[in-house]
Amino acid sequence: MTTAPPTRRYDYETDGSQIYVDSFATIRAESDLSRVPADAEKVAVRMIHACGQTDLTRDLVIHPGLVSAARTALEAGAPILTDANMVASGVTRARLPRENDVMCLLRDPRVPDLARAWSTTRSAAAVSLWADRMEGAVVAFGNAPTALFHLLEMLRDGAPRPAAIIGTPVGFIGAAESKQALIDLAADEPGLDVPYLVVTGRRGGSAMAASALNALAQERE
């Protein structure tokens, strides 16, 4: 085991706290945060921090009631339901206000049979298993457009309504369309105005979804 650091050959910041402070200062200097609701500014900053893309606010669409709805739900002990284990793994448990459950059911043994029977993806089939926990939950999609589409179809069929939906599935097939369908849900189905956060277009991913959840779980940056 080595007991000494390597020879210092590069000029770089090594103070973790200073890196953190400087990173968020850079984000605020380079991003147009006027595009997001005032109470969602820290959510946007944390998402930019996760992806390194200061132009992310150009594609962020945040419902005006998203932050208050999600925080109220989490403070009441609501679970977080996700489409991907990477999203669940990215949630910082210490930030959760009530030791909230964070669940991804992709590995549930019922999922493969459901996916085959319904001719859909396992990610979509897993969402059906959320039904008994979905009322008032905070749900997040960081990977699978089919899972987000499936949730919207469940809601249209009268499934329990979550408190908030984070929609950041990534990809080239169905990602942009699924997120637009979430934005359009209230207009298409009066009475289904569920607060949401969406990264429009093709970009997204588990890191973005997890960073949004972490910011919503606790206002501290």
Domains belonging to the chain, first-starting first, are 16-217 (3.40.50.10230)
* Element at 148 (helix H, strand E): helix 145-156
Q: Which structure tokens are listed for 17? A: 């706290």
pTM over 0.85: yes
Exposed e or buried b for every residue in 60-75, given b needs 16+ CB within 10 A?
bbbbebbbbbbbebbe
Mean pLDDT of the chain: 96
Active centre residues (catalytic): 49
pLDDT for the residue numbered 220: 79
Q: Model confidence over 155-206: pLDDT tens digits?
A: 999 999 999 999 999 999 999 999 999 999 988 888 899 999 999 999 999 9
